[in-house]
Amino acid sequence: MRIRALGAWLALLLLAPFVTEAEEEAPAEPAVRSGHLNVARISGSINPASSDYLQKAIAQSEEDGAAALLIELDTPGGLVASTKDIIQAMLNAKVPIIVYVSPQGAWAGSAGTFITIAAHVAAMAPGSSIGAAHPVGIGGSSPPTTAPRRPRTCWPPSSNRSPRSASATSSGPRRPCGSPSP
């Protein structure tokens, strides 16, 4: 309960950068968005179900006239397609999105990292962590690190270029054309 109250106060304090001054001709508007704060919680992998859940939470927050949507996030990561759908919805949202990596010890890994940095405001509970944003295989393993071998380039023997002046695009040392590859 205490963390939820802290998150709500933190959200209100962090919304201050989104306040814009009204022009003199325009009617006076409140300095801070009034209304309520919607909360969505993700605890687990990012997948089509969590993507749909967050997209609906964003749409509902827009319809409700919420001051912001607070996403409490604890995830090791998930699917790229679901992550992309969530980020696209966040970037096109008409309501500020706050991502709060919580509770203490929570993790915003891989897909969670991208979701956190796509938010208008990002905050983290003490002891939480973020990072490790790289592709992971379905079984949790990293994809193969061996890239297919590219053919080596060669230089014409009549050119004035040295074999040591390999361009940044070559995949290895240059050799005269027609000479055997190493």
Please list the ranges in the chain whose pLDDT falls under 70.
1-33, 133-182
10 Å CB burial of residue 25 (0-12, 13-18, 19+) is exposed
- What's the pLDDT at 78? 93
Write the pLDDT tens digit of every residue in 89-127.
999 999 999 999 999 999 999 999 999 999 999 999 999
- What's the pLDDT at 50? 98
77 sits in the region (left: phi over 0; alpha: psi -120 to 50; else beta) called: left
Tell me yes or no: is domain 10-15+31-131 CATH 3.90.226.10. yes
- What's the pLDDT at 35? 86
- What's the pLDDT at 101? 98
What is the rounded distance in angstroms from the CA atom of residue 58 to the CA atom of residue 87? Answer: 11
Q: Where are the domains of the chain?
A: 10-15+31-131
Write the pLDDT tens digit of every residue in 81-99.
999 999 999 999 999 999 9
- What's the pLDDT at 182? 55
